[in-house]
Structure 1
Amino acid sequence: MFKKEKLQQTNFLILVLLIVLIVSLSLLNGGRGYLANNLLLFLSGILLLLAIKNHKFCLGKAHYILFGFLFFSALSLFFSFSAYNSFAYFLQIFSVGILFFVVSSLHFSYKDLKIFINVVLATAFILCLIGFYFYITGHYSRLTSIFYWPNPFAGYFLFVIPLGLIIFLKSKKKVFIAPLLIIFFTAFILTGSRGAFLAFAIPLIFVFYYQRKNFKRNFHWLICLILLIIVFASLLSAMNTSLNASSTKFFSKPSSDSLLDASSGIRLSYWEGAWHIFKDFPLFGIGFNNFQDVYPSYQTSPLNAGKYAHNFYLKILAEAGIFTFLFFIFFLIYIFLIAKKKIDFNKKPIILGFWAGALGSGLHCFLDIDWHWSANLVLFFLFCACFYQFVLHADNSKYSISKFSKITKSILFFIVIFLVFKAGHGLFTDYSFAQACNYQDTGSFSQAEKYYHQSLFLNPNPNYQRFFAYFLLTNGKIHQAEILSQKLKRTDSHQALNYQLSGYVAINKNNLIQAEQEFKQAIILDPLNRPVYYLDLARLYLAQNRKQEAKSIANKILGYYSPDVIQNRMGLILPQQTITSGIEKDIVELQKIVDL
């Protein structure tokens, strides 16, 4: 009896920590930024510690498949073009893997699940209210809330709406859940994410099929719901200042030159780039999170600039190789097709909500970048885990209960300590970097240097090193800047910015031959996105009286940048935020060189 009570207390504590994690990630810009990432590492470590206290682990087929995915993900780190970028991203993947292992091994009661679901719905409601405020008072025609990007925010509703819809159909007090559903559907529509709309269709069909009796029983309620959603969405659309200032209206067809269509049109280029990267590096890829550095070499137009593959599965192929990809696909097939057969969704509609929510998110990631927002990634694995724990307990002959040996416990404790340390260390170094930038902006250079050093303590972050190198260079510490620039080229060899930095260092050392080589390498790695690389090289040629070569290199990039292209690259997303800054000025300077 005592053991049972202790187990219940542990399960409740796990539930509380999961709630803290979901709410925090959702409200921290959807899980973007260093605070959210470190929180994910810390709480996953604590959750693993609580799982160790249970002294046993339920292991099913999905666990073994996921372990294979994590194993080959770790193996791909040894082949990464930038070990730091890949390791940082792998820790996120590893953390959500821990969440799946821990949560799917539990047996939440329906009371616990109800608490969990209510928190998810309440958090989504708060995000909607914030989103509506931004939508009405802002200058962007699509709803983003604090995710600050509409498509991942739409992806968040792929989890929320199936659960809300099932609760609505089953509830006798619909007057309480109906307003929430109206708000969720309205927010979902106003994101304008056509990919999310498509992804939502299939889970909706499954919900309709398994809940068809309830759909018929609540037909009149659903008609009223649809009408109210249309009215509310139209009302908010009419209040949006950016829509009123343009010809774009709610439910109207976007113009051919709209950013919405531009973003859709270039997805094919991202996919082609990811596919070509995979063909060049098929076994272990280029390393997690390196697409943004390697893709420019495969890019065909400045209009196709991007950081993400906009397809998570192609991303895995390109960044982690075929073995990692296959294990992840096997995991999805098992969850969505094989394990599904073991649950009667008619008897357990709430479990259908978890399954449908995860399915919608998985489908949307064929088209978009949802899982680059940690809140969405965590929700996907938690929804899969909540579904799979019921599969395990419905088919208890098909899984094994693994007790921890002393060696296993030691390894798991080491992982816990590492994750907690990494989270604390990450907070320290990220805070130090922010302080360094603040002191640099205020002219307190000695304090800035101190905090730059702190930010790099056991933390070879390439971005931090590059910022520090520029700081040293502008303060006349050329030798120290050179050491950092050379280190960056070794550890982050496909980042063009590192070669631009090395070129500036060479100029300060009056080594113009090396500077030329560095600027040329920057252009090779990123030939279309940053005209400033060409401008640097052209100015170097002019300084050596090589006017024709300067004109030639300027013309090489100007051919890609017509006025329409420049305007597109400067398209506004939100106030004070542009896709690319400084391009127009660089093009003007390059044109002046051509006109000499």
Structure 2
Amino acid sequence: MNLAYQNIEQKKWFIFIIIILGAILGIVASNGILLISFFTLLLLMFLFYLFVYNRNLFILIFAVNYFYTFELNINIQFNRNIDILSLVFILFMGIRSDIILRNYKNLKFLYLLALSSLLILFSSSLFSHEILNSFRGTYEVLVFYLFIIYVFDSFKNLHDIELFISKLFLVFIICLVANWGLRFLYPNLTLNKNVYGFILDLIIPLGFVLLQYKKNLKIFLFLLLSIITLLFNDSRGSLLAVVISIFLYLILYKRNIIKIFRYALVGLFISVISFFVLPDTIITRLTDIDDKNDFNTITRIDMWEASRDLFVNHPYIGIGLRNFNYYYNSFYNDFPYFNPFHPHNTYLYILSGTGIIGSLVFLIGVVVFGFIIIRCRKKSSDYLGAFVTGVLVSLVALLIHGMVDTYIIYISVMLMVSLYIGLVLKIYQFSK
């Protein structure tokens, strides 16, 4: 029961301080005391949840914890800490099993999809070469579904959702600022541009669509900062995915030639300015996108061919998630000092890892969620309808980027997807 803060809106400064504290801890965490800092933040999150007893805010804090650290995934061995946080969340949901039980009636299809996915992944794990790695992929999928249920259960009316969405962009801004803080404080720290690119896929189109609905200074500042970050992030796949998804939105939803032409001119202006502002290394990488002799292009094609062969040899339940590294290095890798953990293609990763059965379940999930999002957009109010449209455009960007990289292995990315799906499912329930 909430004894301390009956009116959350009157305590917005307290909320802001908590989020800022989380961002500071994230920066401190990059300076060699990663584990201690994240356990401290985890404790802070649960204390905040217990005393304030507002699950929406708990989601925000949980989201911040992942969002401002997602870039560190590979380069400073952040994977183990992601495991710890995921297991803690599974334990939390196990203790609060009432959340799972009371939402079964409204989310039967989701529970069926989750059960099918977990059974297939469990089966492929048993027959995989690296069983522990494969089981890790299985429980990450479990976290994905549990977080959807948790988000769905956290809102009692549409007004709560609107307030939450308005706070979400503050979270995005803080995460972007924390990221630039890392860049300036630790210029020698190698960051994971691919993971960051996936997150930008998910937040830039959403902000763009909402800004079309209502001019908002906070969203405008967010878009400005995120576009600058996108250009400096040096992820070609992310840049193309964002541009293509927004272009499709303007053609299919706006259908306004003058507005499309105006945005095209803005894009051209940004491109010209970028050539004078961005470092030469980034410019070269962006302009060499069609270079067939580029090392990234050569290795990607090689990994895609290897994934295809792995699927042909293990067609039904695949080789198991997170087993690509072993099979590729053992039988296919001809490049010295090249040690990939995934084939840089989400759909080939799923196909080779879970076989035709797992891929079919994934495809069904994409189609069903897509259908719900489209129906929800038609039934929602103007603001929430714009949000749902933004979610659709953002997920399209992620799906496009998934053709040249693997987003499903990063739990920070999948938690963003969980957050979006949980919100859309709740909006859809209220709109019926």
Band of TM-score, shorter chain: 0.7 to 0.9
Paired residue for 2:325?
A: 292
396, 412, 419: which one aligns with 1:382: 419
Q: Distance in 1 between matches of 2:406 and 2:54?
A: 32
Matches within 5 A, 1:92-107: 92-105=140-153, 107=155
Paired residue for 1:321?
A: 355
Find out whether 1:196 has 2:238 as its counterpart: yes
- Check whether the contact 2:172–2:222 (CA below 8 A) recurs between aligned residues: no
Gaps of 5+ in 1: 1-5, 141-145, 396-596
C-alpha displacement of 1:358: 2.3
Gaps of 5+ in 2: 1-5, 9-48
Find out whether 1:15 has 2:63 as its counterpart: no
Q: Distance in 2 between matches of 1:54 and 1:373?
A: 24
User: CA 1:218–1:86 in 2, change beyond 3 Å: closer, same or farther?
Assistant: closer
- For the aligned residues, what is the CA RMSD? 3.9
Matches within 5 A, 1:243-282: 243=280, 249=283, 253-254=287-288, 261-282=294-315
Paired residue for 2:391?
A: 354
Matches within 5 A, 1:563-578: none
164, 172, 195: which one aligns with 2:207: 164
Find out whether 1:312 has 2:346 as its counterpart: yes
Q: Distance in 1 between matches of 2:170 and 2:54?
A: 20
Paired residue for 2:375?
A: 341
C-alpha displacement of 1:14: 2.9
User: CA 1:252–1:148 in 2, change beyond 3 Å: closer, same or farther?
Assistant: closer
TM-score by length of 2: 0.73
Paired residue for 1:181?
A: 223
C-alpha displacement of 1:234: 5.1
Matches within 5 A, 1:56-455: 56-57=102-103, 58-105=106-153, 107=155, 109-132=157-180, 148-172=191-215, 174-209=216-251, 212=254, 226=267, 229=270, 233=274, 236-237=277-278, 240=279, 243=280, 249=283, 253-254=287-288, 261-299=294-332, 301-302=334-335, 305-337=339-371, 340-344=374-378, 347=382, 348-395=385-432
Find out whether 1:28 has 2:61 as its counterpart: no
Q: Bigger relative contact order, structure 1 or 2, given CA contacts below 8 A and separation 6+?
A: 2
- Partner of 1:266, secondary structure, is helix
C-alpha displacement of 1:45: 3.5
How far does the alpha carbon of each residue in 1:120-139 deviate from its partner, in whole angstroms, 9 at most, with x for none? Answer: 43343344345556667988
User: CA 1:234–1:121 in 2, change beyond 3 Å: closer, same or farther?
Assistant: farther
C-alpha displacement of 1:224: 9.0
Greater C-alpha Rg: 1
Q: Distance in 2 between matches of 1:92 and 1:19?
A: 20
Paired residue for 2:25?
A: none
User: CA 1:132–1:154 in 2, change beyond 3 Å: closer, same or farther?
Assistant: same
Q: Distance in 1 between matches of 2:265 and 2:89?
A: 42
Q: Distance in 1 between matches of 2:177 and 2:91?
A: 32
User: CA 1:123–1:300 in 2, change beyond 3 Å: closer, same or farther?
Assistant: same
Q: Percent identity, aligned pairs only?
A: 17
- Check whether the contact 2:64–2:175 (CA below 8 A) recurs between aligned residues: no
Paired residue for 1:427?
A: none
User: CA 1:175–1:101 in 2, change beyond 3 Å: closer, same or farther?
Assistant: closer
